[in-house]
Copies of this chain bind each other. A is one copy, B any other.
Amino acid sequence: MALSKDRIGKNAILLLLSDDSSEHLAMLEQLNWKSCTGKVGSMDEHKVVAAIETAAKKNGIINPDVYRESHALYHAIIEALNGITRGQVQLGSVLRTVGLSFAVLRGNPYENEQEGDWIAVSLYGTIGAPVKGFEHETIGLGINHI
């Protein structure tokens, strides 16, 4: 299942679902796209947001000194969380918890160079009661221009 130059969202999800992402990472480098991945488990939504923002800044996906880049990332994260939570963007306050992998990708998936960079945030993992095994899978994807 190869990555595609015109599918930033699909690429972001395959990074999470692959058993071995080294091939994907090599291809992303060739495309000159930036990417990072990480994991976060929490009952606090803000900790999920913070984990992704921190990883994206530390890995140079976004410029931490320019607000427009943080703004683009933030909205992509919240959109991805909508897919994870499916209704209200709440975890512990409605007694549920998540264990998630995340990926952040940056590149231009369009043919037109004027489209510039876009950012994709993908989330995959489990959501459920704070009881081991009482959980099911969940996925989310947010895409924004940057």
Contact = CB atoms under 8 A, between A and B. Distances in A.
Interface of A: 1-2, 7-10, 13-14, 17-19, 44-46, 49-50, 53, 63, 65-68, 70-72, 74-75, 78-79, 81-84, 86-90, 92-96, 109-110, 112, 114-116, 118, 120, 122, 124, 128-129, 131, 133-146
A49, A82, A94 — most chain B CB neighbours (10 Å): A94
A8 B137 contact: yes
**Copies of this chain, whole number:** 6
17 contacts: A7-B137, A9-B139, A10-B124, A45-B93, A45-B94, A45-B95, A46-B92, A66-B112, A68-B118, A68-B145, A71-B136, A75-B75, A82-B83, A88-B89, A89-B94, A138-B141, A138-B143
Contacts of A70: 129, 131, 134
Contact of A116 (B68, B88, B122): B68
